[in-house]
Copies of this chain bind each other. A is one copy, B any other.
Amino acid sequence: MKHEIDERMINEGVDALLVVGPAQHNPAMVYLTGGGHLTNADVIKKQGQPPVLFFNTMERDEAAKSGLKSIGYDQYPLNKYIKECNGDLVEAMAVRYEYMLKDCDVTHGKIALYGTIELGPKFAVLSRLQQRMPTIEFVGYVVDPILMPAMMTKDQHELARIRNMGKITTQVVQKTADFLQQHKAKDNVLITAEGRPLTIGDVKAKINLWLAEAGAENPHDTIFAIGRDAGVPHSLGTPGDALRLGETIVFDIFPCETGGGYHYDFTRTWSLGYAPQPVQELYDQVYQVYKTLVSELKENLPFKAVQDRTCDLFEAVNHPTIRSKSNSMEGYVHSIGHGLGLRVHEMPFSGATAGENEILSKGSVFTIEPGLYYPDQGMGVRLEDTFFINENGQAEKFVDFPMDLVLPINMV
């Protein structure tokens, strides 16, 4: 949570954070500012001091909504600096940062970099700034010891927003099931009122519509994949594909609040009309593992241990796993879950590179998503819900939703 930031900065010997980029679709910036329509901004947070927001003067009303101490870029006139730097724009932009940092009393020490931006321009300016200010040192983190772990545990306000996204998400999934079931099947595929096959593209257009209607968006698209595509974990599905009966449909939906806010992540696997025996068996195995894993969730469990347990369970029923065969395309080929919040994937992680601190602690929000994939057999199954560890130390699912495999379909 946010109150951890200063202590984490002290532990890392970091004197300031520099967070760059827009205030939408930029997790670190949204976390510190609350979001809003700031097309370009900077936040400087010195250790022990509240964050300061720098903004385009045209966006002053949006900046004010952050509640942060805010300073317009017009206080640092770029045109003047360009003249002083003999027309060197990069140097002028470095000069602006130098003044901004000095106004936050940041003149030496480690400055940790955050923010989602276009790499090239920022690399140019920060490299120049580093030359101008040899007493500072920029650092970046692959495994972030400051903001990411602070963001890993959510407060009540954040949990409420994620739960609300869960409600929206499952409502859209229900609408999708209803929509499919409103169609009848002919020659083993769903057909529209006009008599043509309903396609995955048709279904996805509806999903986008229902999400928008509910104040959500899916910047990373939605997985709605049938048959062989369902056997490839990250295949989005093929828009022109018909909805064929008796084939697995993996429906993985991970929308966020409009503007790039909090996410939800949810997967069901469906088979329209009926389930052939191999599909039913694969489903039953995944569902069994899902239930076992969920029953064993508890506070302070290292998330990596859940991944190991999942590999144990799938290997016990003779499936290859990412542990038993690291580059396998078949069996259980990914990690069991991930944290989520302002990012669809964030700490805690459960895969090979997860750290010791990535445990399921109070306020952790995470997915549990076992799956089995057999693309050459034209099938894949994944089941996923989003959980958190509540104040009593128990794992709690945000939103319930039926686990049925088969969606009954009427024939023409």
Binds B, one of A135-143, A156-164, A275-283, A305-313: A135-143
Contact of A56 (CB < 8 Å), options: B21, B219, B234? B234
- Given contacts A229-B61, A232-B61, A118 and B115 within 8 Å (CB-CB): yes
A112 at the B interface (CB under 8 A): yes
Q: How large is the interface on A (under 10, 10 to 19, 20 to 34, 35 or more residues)?
A: 35 or more
Which residues of B lie under 8 Å from residue A24 when comparing CB positions? 219-221
* Cα separation A117 to B143 with both chains bound (whole Å): 15
The residue among A57, A220, A234, A258 with the most chain B CB atoms within 10 A of its own CB is: A234
* Cα separation A273 to B190 with both chains bound (whole Å): 48
Contact of A327 (CB < 8 Å), options: B37, B59, B74? B74
A11 at the B interface (CB under 8 A): no
* Cα separation A47 to B162 with both chains bound (whole Å): 46
* Cα separation A82 to B77 with both chains bound (whole Å): 46
Which residues of B lie under 8 Å from residue A138 when comparing CB positions? 123
Contact of A217 (CB < 8 Å), options: B82, B90, B217, B326? B217
Which residues of B lie under 8 Å from residue A399 when comparing CB positions? none
A411 at the B interface (CB under 8 A): no
Binds B, one of A204-212, A390-398, A401-409: A204-212
Per the 8 Å Cβ criterion, residues 100-154 of A in contact with B are 112-127, 138-144
**A213 lies within 8 A of B219 (CB):** no
The residue among A120, A233, A345 with the most chain B CB atoms within 10 A of its own CB is: A120
With A112-B120, A119-B140 given, name 17 new contacts (CB 8 A). Answer: A24-B220, A60-B232, A62-B236, A74-B326, A74-B327, A113-B119, A113-B120, A115-B119, A115-B120, A116-B119, A117-B117, A120-B142, A121-B140, A123-B123, A123-B126, A217-B219, A221-B258
12 example contacts (A-B, Cβ-Cβ < 8 A) are as follows A21-B119, A37-B221, A39-B345, A56-B234, A57-B327, A79-B326, A82-B352, A114-B120, A115-B119, A117-B119, A120-B141, A208-B212
Residues of A within 8 A of B (CB): 20-22, 24-25, 27-28, 37, 39, 56-62, 74, 77-79, 82, 89-90, 93, 112-127, 138-144, 205, 208-209, 211-213, 215, 217, 219-221, 229, 232-236, 258-260, 326-327, 329, 333-334, 345, 352-353
